[in-house]
């Protein structure tokens, strides 16, 4: 027999795989904003000469981003060709895409699997094989962050015009500085490039004259009205301008059962009481009809008709009580209480309130008769709207047996009809009390305000509502017209070639005719040059003073007081060094206009995140807002500290606007940008970059400290854990005022002002600034305040998880901290809708310290 133990079976399968190699490595690429770049590789698979293997497979490609997902890139709006030899990166952004690095990994895919009959090879012995890394360079663009503003000054007073411009990627500033060229229209001429020096011009000037006109004004006054009624029918007319309608309606209680020598009669049940509101569309111009029931009568004793009379009501009267026994021993049952109802326009009933049942009569046999049933409460069972057009009359109580007490009558109310109490039996049982009437209401017309209640007496009702009355009155109005004249003027210009131009004139002849703008350029910027907004430079004979008082409040007990006339130039605030995070209180500016309501414009710059080696911290957010600064009302600027670096602007207690700080960079990636007032922060790029929160238009009442700060939260506020960020409060909570029970969004009450006697301090009384411990800060003015120092949750940044990573930025919603060497996210901005947003953007502030610029708008 043949031995086949070592028999060989021929096969074409070759398990020897090839060796992969790159014949072309990817190269660095550059492009402009919105353009695309490509990275290309070429590769080959080589088989050893002594294997005899055939190349039966293919080379596969997968592109990766350094710091990106471990599973590689996927095709989307920005990436295409991710599994081919050529990767295309589209829609380039600056600086977001600057320095991003990509590489390819190749593998070998065989055409046959192990054990098949077809020929093939195994996997490559050196797969996956990683290519060199190649990076993107995105050419920068110029951007004008803050435009110049209009200026109106007096004669020989310097008017300054500033444009804040820069590159989208400041690493290119090594190629040269941004160049500024200013153009001014002297007189009413077309603006031309100017040089430093003094020039005399003949200009057309303007004079404003006042024209008086007669007209009418309309005044609207709001009145409140309250009415109360007892039993019977009552009508109330709601005016067409009526609002805030609410009413309470009560049904009558049942009568008490009659007493007997052997036992007392039962007490009558309560009629129901309900309170309702009526939406304006259901109430305006309508009549409400109130039908109030009477209380049921009490039962008598024997030897005469002893039943209690029923409580009368148009809405549904109660039932009569049962009579006494014929031998005169027992008491009669109490009458049921009358229902109460509310109708609209004398038609459909919209509320029916059930009356109480009558009490049972006392029996000759010792003992107390049971009381009447309470009228069933509103919502006792569901009722359809149509049912309310029908009401029930309470059932009569049954008469006695021999010496048993008479049964109480049932209360009137919403159908179905309720029965009266049963008759008492001779010497064994007193009469039962009557049942209470039911209640119901039209939920499509009125809203029930729980809880309900009970009423033992006659039915009653009360109603409250408001309405407005508009009257006209004659008024005199004025308007302004401009008359032009010609005047010579000497004008001195300085600052050409810088970002700030100064113009001083000795004659008030321009009157907003002179035009000013800047042209900025840079040698590398792809969109150079850029032209700023065109603004006006006006010189007037006598400028109105636009004064503000600035109270700089630190940790001491005395404020530093400064008066500034905004007509003479902008007021700048830069973040200081005293810090709430160091445990010594806040460092804030309290600002107010002492003379008048004043239109102002504020530039808010969030601080830039910290750099890390060659990785840049995220730019702070920037916004320009406008609003009217009310006379003698405090506006508080907080967050101007080393660790916060985020300007938060409050009007008394309420946060009205803030911008976010940029996130710190990590050793492997940049930080995210801070957001403007209408922008959330930016997430930091990379696999473990910090994530930015969603921008909010309304802040919840409770806040969250970010995980960076050492401060602790007071319930109901909380604190995030690393790397998570927090959320600020919509109103200042403070320490002293919080402990006094003053709510976060309320104004603060006045203390004793010299020369004024306060019997009852009002919330809008003037008051001086109090420190977080309650001490009055010396030097601060008596104005309307609401800001509460010491606890406001403006420290919202998320903490980095590893030492080489970056912290997030502070903001309305803070930025999350990064991990594994990646940057933190930028903080978000916020505005409460009370300001006008001139401009807002993600990033834009390259200042390491937060900055705020205040100016008057004329």
Residue 180 reports pLDDT greater than 60: yes
Query: 671 near 686, Cβ under 8 Å?
Result: no
Domains of the chain in sequence order: 19-138 (2.60.40.10), 153-209+482-532 (no CATH), 231-458 (no CATH)
Q: What is the pLDDT of residue 53?
A: 57
What is the band of 476 on the pLDDT scale with cuts at 50, 70, 90? confident
What is the band of 745 on the pLDDT scale with cuts at 50, 70, 90? very high
Query: 645 near 639, Cβ under 8 Å?
Result: yes
More confident residue, 384 or 166: 166
Q: What is the pLDDT of residue 814?
A: 97
pLDDT tens-place string over residues 533-552? 999 888 887 778 899 999 98
Q: 636: closest CA among 654, 621, 623?
A: 654
Residue 420 reports pLDDT greater than 80: no
More confident residue, 472 or 617: 617
Q: What is the pLDDT of residue 204?
A: 66
Q: What is the pLDDT of residue 187?
A: 62
CA distance 595 to 602: 19
Residue 714 reports pLDDT greater than 50: yes
Residue 670 reports pLDDT greater than 80: yes
pLDDT tens-place string over residues 222-239? 999 999 999 999 999 999
Q: What is the pLDDT of residue 121?
A: 62
H or E, element range at 183: strand 179-184
What is the band of 115 on the pLDDT scale with cuts at 50, 70, 90? very low
Region 91-118: mean pLDDT is: 77
pLDDT tens-place string over residues 315-341? 778 767 777 665 556 788 877 778 889
Q: What is the pLDDT of residue 410?
A: 64
Residue 11 reports pLDDT greater than 70: no
Region 839-856: mean pLDDT is: 94
- For every residue of 34-84, DSSP letters joined together read T--EEEE-EEEEE--TTT------EEEEEEEETTS-TT----SSSEE-TTS
Q: What is the pLDDT of residue 379?
A: 47
Least confident of 31-35, 437-441, 652-656, 746-750: 746-750
Percent of the chain exceeding pLDDT 90 equals: 50
Q: What is the pLDDT of residue 52?
A: 53
Region 556-582: mean pLDDT is: 79
Q: What is the pLDDT of residue 429?
A: 67
Residue 763 reports pLDDT greater than 50: no
More confident residue, 592 or 536: 592
Q: 798: closest CA among 808, 786, 790?
A: 808
Query: 131 near 75, Cβ under 8 Å?
Result: no
What is the band of 375 on the pLDDT scale with cuts at 50, 70, 90? confident
Q: What is the pLDDT of residue 262?
A: 73
What is the band of 12 on the pLDDT scale with cuts at 50, 70, 90? very low
Q: What is the pLDDT of residue 541?
A: 77
Least confident of 120-134, 451-465, 801-815: 120-134
Helix, strand, coil tally for the chain in percent (to 5): 5, 35, 60
Q: What is the pLDDT of residue 54?
A: 57
Q: What is the pLDDT of residue 750?
A: 58
Q: What is the pLDDT of residue 800?
A: 97
What is the band of 708 on the pLDDT scale with cuts at 50, 70, 90? very high
Task: Strands of 506-557 (E only): list them.
Answer: 514-521, 530-531, 535-540, 547-553
Query: 296 near 318, Cβ under 8 Å?
Result: yes
CA distance 629 to 632: 9
Residue 112 reports pLDDT greater than 60: no
The overall average pLDDT reported for the chain is 85
CA distance 569 to 508: 17
Residue 189 reports pLDDT greater than 50: yes
Region 510-524: mean pLDDT is: 83
CA distance 598 to 207: 23
Phi-psi region of 520 (alpha: psi -120 to 50; beta: other; left: phi over 0): beta
Region 399-414: mean pLDDT is: 68
Q: What is the pLDDT of residue 510?
A: 55
Q: What is the side-by-side order of every strand in the sheet holding 232-237?
A: 232-237, 287-292, 340-344, 349-353, 440-441
What is the band of 855 on the pLDDT scale with cuts at 50, 70, 90? very high
Q: 241: closest CA among 470, 496, 556, 514?
A: 470
- For every residue of 289-310, DSSP letters joined together read EEEEPPPPPPP--SSS--PPPP
């Amino acid at each position: 027999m043949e031995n086949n133990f070592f028999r060989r079976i021929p096969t074409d399968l070759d398990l020897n795989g090839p060796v992969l190699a790159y014949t072309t490595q990817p190269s660095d690429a550059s492009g402009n904003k919105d353009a695309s770049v490509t990275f290309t590789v070429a590769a080959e698979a080589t088989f050893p000469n002594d294997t005899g293997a055939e190349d039966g497979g293919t080379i596969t490609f997968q592109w990766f981003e350094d710091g990106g997902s471990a599973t590689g890139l996927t095709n989307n709006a920005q990436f295409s060709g991710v599994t081919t030899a050529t990767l295309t990166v589209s829609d380039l952004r600056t600086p977001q895409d600057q320095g991003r690095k990509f590489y390819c990994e190749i593998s070998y895919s065989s055409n046959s699997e192990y054990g098949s009959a077809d020929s093939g090879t195994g996997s490559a012995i050196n797969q996956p094989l990683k290519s060199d890394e190649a990076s993107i360079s995105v050419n920068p663009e110029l951007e004008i962050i803050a435009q110049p503003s209009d200026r109106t000054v007096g004669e020989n007073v310097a008017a300054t015009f500033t444009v804040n411009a820069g590159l989208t990627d400041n690493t290119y500033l090594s190629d040269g500085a941004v160049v500024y060229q200013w153009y001014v229209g002297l007189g009413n001429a077309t603006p031309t490039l100017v040089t430093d020096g003094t020039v005399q011009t003949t200009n057309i000037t303007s004079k404003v004259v006042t024209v008086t006109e007669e007209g009418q004004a309309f005044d609207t006054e709001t009145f409140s009205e309250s009415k109360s009624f007892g039993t019977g029918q009552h009508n109330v007319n709601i005016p067409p301008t009526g609002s805030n309608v609410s009413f309470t309606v009560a049904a009558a209680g049942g009568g008490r059962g009659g007493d007997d020598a052997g036992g007392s009669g039962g007490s009558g049940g309560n009629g129901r009481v309900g309170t309702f509101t009526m939406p304006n569309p259901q109430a305006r111009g309508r009549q409400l009809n109130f039908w109030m029931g009477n209380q049921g009568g009490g039962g008598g004793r024997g030897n005469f008709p002893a039943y209690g009379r029923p409580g009368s009501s148009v809405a549904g009267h109660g039932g009569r009580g049962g009579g006494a026994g014929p031998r005169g021993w027992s008491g009669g049952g109490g009458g049921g209480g009358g229902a109460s109802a509310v109708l609209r326009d004398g038609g459909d009933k919209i509320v029916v309130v059930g009356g109480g049942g009558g009490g049972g009569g006392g029996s000759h046999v010792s003992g107390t008769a049971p009381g009447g049933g309470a009228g069933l409460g509103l919502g006792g069972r569901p009722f359809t709207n149509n049912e309310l057009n029908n009401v029930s009359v309470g059932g009569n109580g049954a008469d006695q047996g021999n010496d048993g007490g008479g049964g109480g009558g049932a209360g009137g109310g919403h159908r179905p009809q309720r029965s009266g109490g049963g008759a008492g039996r001779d010497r064994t049982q007193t009469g039962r009390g009557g049942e209470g009437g039911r209640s119901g209401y039209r939920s499509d017309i009125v809203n029930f305000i729980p809880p309900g209640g009970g009423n033992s007496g006659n039915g009653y009702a009360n109603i409250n509502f408001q309405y407005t009355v508009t009257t006209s009155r004659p008024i005199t109005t004025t308007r302004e017209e401009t008359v032009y004249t010609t005047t010579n003027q000497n004008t001195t210009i300085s600052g050409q070639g810088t970002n700030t131009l100064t113009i001083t004139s000795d004659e008030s002849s321009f009157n907003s005719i002179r035009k000013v703008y800047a042209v900025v350029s840079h040698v590398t910027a792809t969109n150079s040059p850029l032209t700023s907004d065109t603004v006006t430079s006006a010189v007037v004979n006598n400028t109105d003073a636009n004064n503000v008082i600035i109270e700089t409040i630190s940790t001491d007990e005395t404020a530093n007081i400064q008066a500034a006339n905004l007509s003479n130039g902008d007021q700048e605030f830069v973040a200081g060094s005293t810090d709430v995070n160091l445990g010594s209180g806040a460092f804030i500016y309290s600002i107010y206009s002492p003379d008048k309501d004043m239109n102002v414009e504020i530039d808010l710059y969030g601080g830039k995140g910290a750099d890390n080696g060659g990785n840049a911290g995220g730019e702070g957010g920037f916004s320009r807002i406008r609003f009217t600064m009310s006379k003698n009302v405090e506006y508080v600027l907080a967050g101007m500290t080393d660790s916060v670096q985020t300007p938060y602007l409050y009007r008394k207690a309420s946060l009205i606007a803030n911008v976010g700080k940029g996130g710190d960079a990590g050793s492997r990636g940049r930080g995210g940008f801070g957001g403007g007032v209408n922008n959330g922060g930016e997430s930091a790029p990379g696999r473990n970059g910090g994530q930015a929160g969603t921008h909010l238009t309304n802040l919840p009442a409770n806040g969250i400290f970010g995980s960076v700060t050492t401060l602790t939260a007071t319930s109901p506020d909380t604190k995030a854990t690393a790397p998570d960020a927090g959320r600020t409060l919509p109103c200042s909570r403070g320490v002293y005022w919080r402990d006094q029970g003053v709510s976060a969004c309320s104004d603060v009450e006045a203390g004793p002002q010299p020369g004024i006697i306060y019997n009852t301090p009002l919330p809008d009384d003037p008051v001086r600034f109090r420190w977080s411990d309650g001490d009055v800060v010396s030097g601060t003015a008596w104005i309307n305040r609401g800001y509460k120092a010491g606890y406001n949750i403006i420290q919202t940044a998320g903490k980095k998880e590893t030492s080489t990573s970056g912290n997030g930025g502070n903001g309305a919603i803070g930025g999350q901290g990064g991990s594994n060497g990646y940057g933190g996210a930028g903080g978000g901005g916020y505005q409460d809708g009370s300001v006008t947003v001139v401009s807002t953007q993600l990033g834009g502030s390259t200042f390491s310290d937060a900055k705020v610029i205040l100016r008057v708008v004329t």
